[in-house]
Amino acid sequence: MEKKIYKILLSVFLVFLFITQLSAQNTLQQGINAVKKGDFLSAVNILSEVVKKEKSYDAYYYYGEALLKTGSFAKAEEYLKKALSEDDEGINAILSLGKLYTKQKKYDLAESYYKRGLKIEPENINLLIGLADNFSEQMKIDDAIKVLTLATTYSKENPKVYIGLGEAYLTRGTFKLAEDYFKKAISLNQNIASAYVGLGQVYFKQKKYNQALVELDKGITKDPNYADAYLLKGKILYFGNSYSEAAEAFNQYSKLMPGSQEGNSYYAKTLYAQGVQYIEKNIIEQAIPKLYDAMKILDDVIKNDPKSITGNLYSAYIYTELADIDTSNKVENYNKAIDYFKKVDLKNYEVEDLIKLAKLYSNLKNFDEAFPLYEKALKIDSTDAQIYYEWGKSLYKSENYSSALGKFQSAQDLGMKGYLPHLFKGFCYYSMKKYEDAIPEFKSAVEANPTYILAKEFLARAYRFAGKTDDAIKAYELVLEADPGNQEAIDVLKVLKKSN
């Protein structure tokens, strides 16, 4: 009887053990399927429980891959290495570690993993593409193209190879070739989201923002979980001053990348930009709350990730603005801004960041620090009119008027419109006492912005010092029409009419 009971209990235990193991395998498979479908958030939730019990290559690798795709790099590294401890020739884990280190800009370490994988599988297309991307990130474009050309000999119909070539030429700034390669990838696979996002990057670099948004939306339609598409979309909307829509895109990025603080940083930037808008309108009482709301978010970002590039840079932006509106703490806030800027290596600066820091140094009259930053910005994008314009302003502040004129002219040649380039060219000529040359620039500034009093005042002054008394009288009268209490116009008109 006891033996019979023992056999029954043993059978029940074995059935329970089998069901438990089967359930664990099913849960692991659910997590693997989620990764393969690109639903990385679900995969993280599922596999976080699996890896507590399942000590296998698949459990560790797929969990590490899901963590990588949701921005949790440190934890991803831990589990991808655990996967390799289970299988030291696990190609996918090797590839993912290479990608992780490329993202972290640990290029030599990334290259060592790609080459480790290629020793095992010399013709592995994904490893070759990863190695090429690692070269592109370092601006070693010829090396990247060489690797990708080799990849085409193994697989001429693989769209990922052409995406890699597109990204290499995009990094080099050869936009037409980049566009052609991304389109080639789409012709091979119309559902590959990264090719559309690549086209979006090309058009973004060319400042064709509407076209860029169209391509990004196509990419998002193909893959709604493509986090980087939302990040780039947010940036484009930000540059177009569509801050509410930009914030939505950045928030979506944050949802898909909970392990990253980048989306939160960019969201803070939209608040910062709204604050700047209020500053430009001289509505300081509404600007300051926006700036402090942004700073609160950035404080949390930096707390979670002290090395956050965007978190530190935008904190610097905010202190720069506070320095400009709070004259009592100007130097203190400028120094805080510089401290935040210095926490980020210059190699991680975008053009906008370089310009911002250069302007800060110019405000402190530290031109030896400012000018090399403009040069560095031009190496990134020599077609950006804003770089020339801001460099011109810095040269004007340093009283190098002739060089400043050249920069303002370059900005206009590259398509910068509006009154400001004309105004500053007028200031340069005026400061050089070339009043005849200053007059047409101030006239153009007034025509471009008829409500801007300062341009009208300087036009009147230029006429006066050029000896054109009648024109000066008319110009000062226009100043008084716009600003009846303008004391300079009142006083000078009396003198001019008396002597005329």
Q: Report the pLDDT value the prediction gives residue 25, as an integer from 0 to 100.
A: 65
**Which of 106, 122, 138 marks a domain boundary?**
122
Please state, in angstroms and rounded to a whole number, the distance separating the CA atoms of residues 329 and 327: 5
Q: What DSSP character marks residue 56?
A: S
User: Tens of pLDDT along the chain (500 residues)?
Assistant: 555 555 555 554 444 444 444 455 689 999 999 999 999 999 999 999 999 999 999 999 999 999 999 999 999 999 999 999 999 999 999 999 999 999 999 999 999 999 999 999 999 999 999 999 999 999 999 999 999 999 999 988 899 999 999 999 999 989 999 999 999 999 999 999 999 999 999 999 898 999 999 999 999 999 999 999 999 999 999 888 898 899 899 999 999 999 888 888 889 989 988 888 888 888 989 999 999 999 999 999 999 889 889 899 999 999 999 998 888 889 899 999 999 999 999 989 999 999 999 999 999 999 999 999 999 999 999 999 999 999 999 999 999 999 999 999 999 999 999 999 999 999 999 999 999 999 999 999 999 999 999 999 999 999 999 999 999 999 999 999 999 999 999 999 999 888 87
Cβ–Cβ under 8 Å, residues 231 and 262: yes
Please state, in angstroms and rounded to a whole number, the distance separating the CA atoms of residues 267 and 350: 17
DSSP letters along 374-422, please? HHHHHHH-TT-HHHHHHHHHHHHHTT-HHHHHHHHHHHHHTT--SHHHH
Task: State which amino acid sits at residue 222.
Answer: K
Question: b/e per residue, 134-166, with b = 16+ CB within 10 A?
Answer: bbbbbebbebbbebbeebbeeeeebbbbbbbbb
Please state, in angstroms and rounded to a whole number, the distance separating the CA atoms of residues 81 and 296: 36
Q: Which two tokens stand for residue 490?
A: 């009142």
**Residue 158 falls within a domain, yes or no?**
no
Nearest to 83 by CA among 62, 113, 106, 112: 62
Cβ–Cβ under 8 Å, residues 346 and 364: no
How many domains does one find in the chain? Answer: 2
Q: Report the pLDDT value the prediction gives residue 4, as an integer from 0 to 100.
A: 55
Q: Which two tokens stand for residue 471?
A: 């024109």
**Residue 18 falls within a domain, yes or no?**
no
The number of C-alpha atoms within 13 Å of 445 and in the hemisphere containing its C-beta is 22
CATH code for the domain of 82: 1.25.40.10
Cβ–Cβ under 8 Å, residues 151 and 123: no
Please state, in angstroms and rounded to a whole number, the distance separating the CA atoms of residues 310 and 370: 21
Please state, in angstroms and rounded to a whole number, the distance separating the CA atoms of residues 281 and 460: 25
Q: Report the pLDDT value the prediction gives residue 260, as an integer from 0 to 100.
A: 86
Q: Which two tokens stand for residue 150?
A: 């080799």
Domain extent for 76: 30-122
DSSP letters along 142-189, please? HHHHHHHHHHHHH-TT-HHHHHHHHHHHHHHT-HHHHHHHHHHHHHH-
Cβ–Cβ under 8 Å, residues 165 and 129: no
CB-neighbour burial class of residue 370 (10 A; exposed 0-12, middle 13-18, buried 19+): buried
**Residue 466 falls within a domain, yes or no?**
yes
Q: Report the pLDDT value the prediction gives residue 338, as an integer from 0 to 100.
A: 95
Element (H, E) at 494: helix 487-499
**Residue 456 falls within a domain, yes or no?**
yes
**Which of 101, 122, 143 marks a domain boundary?**
122
Q: Report the pLDDT value the prediction gives residue 128, as an integer from 0 to 100.
A: 96
Cα dihedral: 235, 241, 243, 245 (round 10):
-70
**Residue 461 falls within a domain, yes or no?**
yes
Q: Report the pLDDT value the prediction gives residue 6, as an integer from 0 to 100.
A: 55
Q: Residue 8's Cα: distance from chain center in Å?
A: 66
**Residue 152 falls within a domain, yes or no?**
no
Query: Global pTM?
Result: 0.70
**Residue 54 falls within a domain, yes or no?**
yes
Task: State which amino acid sits at residue 54.
Answer: E
Q: Report the pLDDT value the prediction gives residue 404, as an integer from 0 to 100.
A: 98
Please state, in angstroms and rounded to a whole number, the distance separating the CA atoms of residues 348 and 350: 7
**Residue 457 falls within a domain, yes or no?**
yes
**Which of 122, 157, 172 marks a domain boundary?**
122
